[in-house]
Amino acid sequence: MAWLDMVQTAGPDVFGTNRWTLLALLGLLLAGVVARALAMVLAPRIFGAVVRLPRTGEALKSSQRALGTAAAAGTVLLGLQRLHAMAETGSDLAEFPGMSALTLIGIAQFVLVVSLVRAAFRAVDVVQDVMDLLDDDDVLDGSERTVVSAVESVLRFLILFIGGVFVADAFGLDLTSLIAGLGISGLALALAAKDTISNFFGAMTVLMDRPFRIGDWVIVGGTEGEVIEINLRTTILRTSLDTVVTVPNANLVNTPVENFGKRRWRRWQTMLHLDLGSNPEAVSAFCDQVIAAVRANDRTLNEDASWCAVEGISAQSIDVAINLYWNLNSSVEEREAREDLMLDIVRISRELNLEFHDARVRQSR
């Protein structure tokens, strides 16, 4: 083992290190190459076997190189730290000048952090898969896409911030002064962008609590309209006059929101005015047939709470009130259902020889 004795007794002839240390550094580089190759092969397979989601698989595939580089940098970093510790304790096997060791350790840590940030940036796409799993109808509407975009933006900011802290640490910067400076700058920025921040958190409240969705008809304060967009700063409504109203999201946190889209049913009440000279038996049969038609309609519910009855008698007409509940989700469907039912009511009235009140005819009698 003469070669080993030669290596161990060699003096600091290259960059202030002995040959044993150089061999150890070469071994670390080789170990890093092996670790990179293994990570590139095994990481996608392991995560792919655990999480079977389309975008997650694509994110892992696109971050193979970043994960491999991170594994290599981590392996080299651990080895460098071990060599540095041996040199600091006065080991005969390792002679590693402090400046060289710290420089190499800083470079390895920098490469590790940058690689992890790159991999984490690509992994942010997993948010879309998570939202797909939580979504009931398997189709992301505008508000859900806004949630995905907002969460991805926040995650990317946090990744950059944390990565920046570790990079600063790798280069030996004073984190206390850096954080203090960021705190002062952040305070000034927060004061300048107070309204924007309020709108952002208002958007988060709206998107998480889900008081309404795109397509719902709502009343916000004194504004009534259909929700057509939910953005990070504003929510946009289209009114019945086809105008567009922009509502700051900060206002939605403290303003009552009446959402017609979340109704379990749509109540409809109307009054029919039959001619005062109508046959009472025919009027009674009319009420029975109308409520039977309502209960037989597959677009209604709460049949026990629905009714059709004479509400009153005036000097001009017999007033018949109808109360029913539509099991529909849109105003268009409700209008169509109303039209069909009213035409059925007209047919029933004609079969019973009943006429609706007409003030002109009544005055001529």
Q: Which of 203, 235, 262 is the last residue of a domain?
A: 262
Residues 27 and 148 in one domain: yes
Residues 125 and 45 in one domain: yes
Residues 12 and 61 in one domain: yes
DSSP code of residue 315: S
CATH number at residue 236: 2.30.30.60
How many CB atoms sit inside 10 A of residue 217's CB? 19
Number of residues that make up the chain: 365
How remote is the C-alpha of 70 from its chain's centroid? 30
Q: Which of 239, 262, 285 is the last residue of a domain?
A: 262
Q: What is the pLDDT of residues 158-200, one digit of tens each?
A: 888 888 877 777 676 665 665 666 666 556 555 555 566 666 6
Residues 184 and 107 in one domain: yes
DSSP code of residue 217: E
* Domain, as residue range, for 324: 266-364
Nearest to 267 by CA among 297, 304, 239, 301: 301
Q: What is the pLDDT of residues 303-356, one digit of tens each?
A: 888 999 999 998 889 999 999 999 887 778 888 999 999 999 999 999 999 999
pLDDT-wise least confident of 124-133, 219-228, 261-270: 124-133
The span from the CA of 357 to the CA of 274, in Å, is 5
10 contact partners, CB below 8 Å, separation of at least 6: 18, 19, 20
Q: What is the pLDDT of residues 18-75, one digit of tens each?
A: 677 677 778 888 888 888 888 887 776 776 665 666 666 666 677 778 888 888 888 8
| Positive or negative torsion for Cα 327, 332, 336, 341 | positive
The span from the CA of 43 to the CA of 37, in Å, is 10
Nearest to 70 by CA among 36, 120, 38, 27: 36
What pLDDT sits at residue 270? 93
| Positive or negative torsion for Cα 204, 210, 211, 217 | positive
Residue type, 165: V
Name residue 3's beta-bridge partners: none
Residue 83 has pLDDT above 70, yes or no: yes
The span from the CA of 127 to the CA of 143, in Å, is 14
In a domain, 45, yes or no: yes
Residues 277 and 246 in one domain: no
Q: Put residue 235 in one of left, alpha, beta given phi > 0 → left and psi -120 to 50 → alpha.
A: beta
| Positive or negative torsion for Cα 98, 101, 107, 112 | negative
Residues 139 and 84 in one domain: yes
Across the range 4-27, mean pLDDT stands at 60
What are 220's two structure tokens? Answer: 């916000």
Residue 9 has pLDDT above 80, yes or no: no
Domain count, the chain: 3
Nearest to 293 by CA among 332, 349, 333: 349
